[in-house]
Amino acid sequence: MTELIRARAFLLPALTVAVALLDLPGRGATLARFEYVEPHMGTKFRIVLYAPDEATADRAARRAFDRIEELNHIMSDYLATSELARLSRNSGGPPVKVSEDLFRVLAESQNIARRSDGAFDITVGPIVKRWRRARRRHALPDHESIANALEKVGYENLVLNPRGRTAHLMKPGMELDLGAVGKGYADDEVLKVLAGFGIRRVLVAGGGDIAVGDPPPGRKGWLVAVEPLNLAPRAPVRTVLLHRAAISTSGDSEQHLEIGGVRYSHVIDPRTGLALTGYRSVTVVARRGILADGLATAASVLGSEDGLKLIRRFSGAGIFYVEERPSGMVTREARFPRFLRLNSPTPSAPTATIRKSDLRAR
């Protein structure tokens, strides 16, 4: 069996994540390949797994999707009933006891926030909401509303206590947003759920956030291609072979706002309250999905130089950074894994292609 996963990401108008899965006849494989897709967390989750029989595969996949939905009810900032929303409503009050999942995600997020010096910050909720409204109305948020929202932002005002497993939002009006790490964490948890069924040859892709377990039978890894759209013909294509790793791309997606020829991203610089502008695509490989996801967002905000520095400080992490500037395409990388050329020796006809624009659920 051969797997080609083409995470076709970025730059320019319709950001596309295309996942192309190719099957070639395997040799003596006792495992069969199964593939499942369901909408969750505002995107589609795809699970590709190898299992001894269909009944086991179906049961395992069902449990995995149920787990994603459970996590959505914990981490969503869209659902007023989520644990995260309840926690945000308690901002300015006493510390709140939180679930193990939420505590883990908050703790990991705070670690990235500290190490990125606040470029990554899950307390950006109030600002993100203003930019979301701006996208709906197609009008930039005014200076005053950004300044007001900024007063409620700051990761130092989220205090975690591991002993009591509590989270304390110190200022009233604070709102947490786990959009930059949630899908990566869900990917990690899917791998765990499936391992509980003895299924370890797995790929899970929540939109542009992918985690993989052991390789498909007879292969060295899962082939993941990060490639730009045709509107950026000179943008580089990189393909990596991964196992027991995660890869995430943060960058301009269809969720951007374009006004006066300027393109405003859904990623915010929490230090200014302004959306990132221009065209950039940042892909991070890491040992776990939550890290790949969070670090890709953090490095987007930090830019090519500081972004690379940040990634170098995380063991096992690598980065492939692409930015289109007026002066031309800038590409930088650090410890990005071994790459392969797509033309050969990989197979040619994808059996499935997913475009990110088809995946939007909200």
Q: Which residues contact 32 (CB under 8 A, 6 or more apart)?
A: 50, 51, 52, 53, 54, 57
Least separation in angstroms between CB 297 and ligand AMP: 4
SS (H, E, C) 247-303: EEEEECCCCCEEECCEEEEEEEECCCCEEEECEEEEEEEECCHHHHHHHHHHHHHHH
**Considering beta carbons, is residue 22 or 119 the nearer one to Mg ion?**
119
Partner touching 266 among Mg ion, ligand AMP, none, CB below 5 to 8 Å by kind: ligand AMP
Print burial letters for 252-268: b (CB count within 10 Å at least 16), e (below 16).
Answer: bbebbbeeeeebbbbbb
- Which partner, Mg ion, ligand AMP, none, binds residue 124 by CB below 5 to 8 Å per kind? ligand AMP
Distance CA(246)–CA(317), nearest Å, equals 9
Q: What is the x/- site pattern for ligand AMP, positions 297-326, by CB under 6 A?
A: x---x-------------------------
Residue closer to Mg ion (CB basis): 72 or 297? 297
**Which partner, Mg ion, ligand AMP, none, binds residue 201 by CB below 5 to 8 Å per kind?**
none
The residue type found at 261 is: G
Q: Is 280 a residue that touches ligand AMP (CB under 6 A)?
A: no
Q: What is the CA radius of gyration of the chain?
A: 20
3 state SS of 220: coil
**Shortest separation between residue 2's beta carbon and Mg ion, angstroms:** 29
Does residue 141 interact with ligand AMP by CB under 6 A? no
**Residues in 211-230 that interact with ligand AMP by CB under 6 A:** none
Out of 180, 224, 242, 290, name the contact with ligand AMP by CB under 6 A.
180
Give the three-class secondary structure for 353: coil
Tell me the torsion sign for CA atoms 163, 71, 118, 137. negative
Q: Cα separations (Å) of 34 from 4, 8, 78?
A: 15, 22, 31
67 binds, among Mg ion, ligand AMP, none (CB under 5 to 8 A by kind): none
What minimum distance in Å lies between the beta carbon of 292 and Mg ion? 8
Q: Contacting ligand AMP (CB under 6 A), which of 16, 43, 82, 250?
A: 250
Main-chain dihedrals φ then ψ at residue 269, nearest 5 degrees: -90, 110
Report the C-alpha gap between 144 and 124 in whole angstroms.
16
Compute the least distance from the CB of residue 361 to ligand AMP, in Å: 14
Q: Which residue number, 76 or 239, has a Cβ lying nearer to ligand AMP? A: 76
Tell me how far, at minimum, the Cβ of 267 lies from Mg ion, in Å.
Answer: 8
Q: SS3 for 108-142, per residue?
A: HHHHHHHHCCCCCCHHHHHHHHHHHHHHHHCCCCC
Site residues (vs Mg ion, CB under 5 A): 180, 250, 293, 296-297
Q: Which one of ligand AMP, Mg ion, none interacts with residue 72, CB within 5 to 8 A by kind? A: none
Instruction: State the minimum distance, in angstroms, from the CB of residue 183 to Mg ion.
Output: 7
Q: Which residues bind ligand AMP (CB under 6 A)?
A: 120-122, 124, 128, 177, 179-180, 250, 266-268, 270, 293, 296-297, 301
